[in-house]
């Protein structure tokens, strides 16, 4: 039955991970020795084509730095995010095979944990270093987390709730089978 509670949890988990493409992971701000302020954001897919070098040369007070200028490769994050969305979406339709569904939800959980670790321990620090090197700042840019960093954590909770509901269903079915026999 597709109307079970784990279907809701799986759909919300897939939606949370899909929304990671719409929201930035982190915002960066850095003051340059010239008195200018550089602002940037880390997205899964680079947006905007601000001509950062021209803005720096024209001495504008606030410069928007393009993610493409830094050359940050986000394909590992995109791959992990898409894999989590795909596995969670496929799990919705495996309601007749609860054991397989539970295993795939566990896989989605592990992939999501890998994505969260990649965001928090690799991507944010790497982009910070690339931004500093590209724009020539004296100090590291200040990082403020955005919604794209917390959506995977919400997805982890939702995947956990789905796994728990699937196991409860399996226990009910086994108990009913025991009573029939």
Q: What is the pLDDT of residues 59-79, one digit of tens each?
A: 667 777 777 777 788 899 999
Q: Indicate whether 106 belongs to any domain.
A: yes
Quote the CA–CA distance of 24 and 44 in Å, as a whole number: 7
Residue 58, CB half-sphere, CA atoms under 13 Å: how many? 9
Number of domains, the chain: 1
Q: Indicate whether 181 belongs to any domain.
A: no
Q: In terms of residue numbers, what domain contains 148?
A: 5-176
Residues 85/17, Cβ–Cβ less than 8 Å = yes
User: Which residue matches tokens 């915002």?
Assistant: 27
DSSP-assigned beta bridge partners for residue 31: 37
Task: Give the pair of three-digit tokens for residue 65.
Answer: 């730095």
pTM of the complete model beyond 0.95: no
What pLDDT was estimated at residue 121?
92
């Amino acid at each position: 039955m597709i109307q079970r509670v784990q279907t809701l949890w799986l759909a919300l988990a897939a939606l949370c991970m899909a929304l990671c493409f719409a929201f930035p992971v982190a915002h960066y701000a850095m003051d340059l020795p010239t008195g200018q302020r550089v602002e940037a954001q880390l997205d899964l897919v680079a947006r905007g084509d601000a001509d950062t070098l021209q803005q720096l040369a024209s001495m504008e007070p606030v410069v928007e730095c393009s993610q493409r200028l830094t050359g940050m490769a986000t394909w590992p994050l995109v791959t992990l995010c898409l894999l989590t969305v795909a596995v969670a979406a496929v799990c919705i339709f495996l309601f007749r095979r609860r054991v397989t569904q539970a295993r795939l939800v566990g896989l989605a959980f592990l992939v999501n944990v890998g994505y969260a670790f990649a965001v928090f321990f690799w991507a944010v620090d790497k982009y910070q270093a690339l931004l500093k090197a590209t724009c020539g700042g004296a100090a590291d840019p200040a990082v403020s987390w955005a919604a794209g960093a917390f959506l995977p954590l919400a997805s982890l909770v939702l995947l956990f709730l789905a796994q728990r509901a699937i196991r409860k269903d399996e226990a009910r079915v086994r108990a009913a089978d025991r009573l029939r026999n």
